[in-house]
Amino acid sequence: MIQFIAEDVILPIFHINNTNRWIKKIAADYCKKVGKITFIFCSDKRILEINNQFLNHDYYTDIITFDYSNDNVISGDIFISVDTVKSNAEYFKVNFDAEIQRIIIHGILHLCGQEDHTPELRKEMTRKENLALQKTDIQTI
């Protein structure tokens, strides 16, 4: 079960059924099944609170993934700062919809066991995000 909720922002507009199918397809590429995944869209203020409280980090970020996966079933809570996604879209000169899809799949890749805590792993994560983005028609998400 995949849920999309908004905490202190307006929920971004995208096609939920297509996004759910896409997420399941990418998880299957990593031999995973989808369990309970909740995407929580929030503000920079909220993501900073979460970063401080749970990770002892004092900075903004676009995504925080709490992984509750078990064996080959991925589950978790994925917090996404809509504010930072907007800023990143402007910085990278892409539209907001494309950036939100990249961040959604970034969280799914984390649940599938992919890491990005070194420059080499970040480069590999970006490559995997790009592969996943090619497997969907961004216009229908």
Domain boundaries, the chain: 2-140
pLDDT exceeds cutoff 60 at 78: yes
At 56-74, the pLDDT tens digits run: 888 889 999 999 999 999 9
Tokens 């995949």 identify what position? 2
Q: Which of 102, 105, 103, 124 is nearest to 115 (CA)?
A: 124
Cα torsion 36, 10, 65, 33 to 10°: value is 30
| Mean pLDDT within 101-117 | 96
137 or 8, greater pLDDT: 8
CATH of domain 2-140: 3.40.390.30
pLDDT reported for residue 55:
86
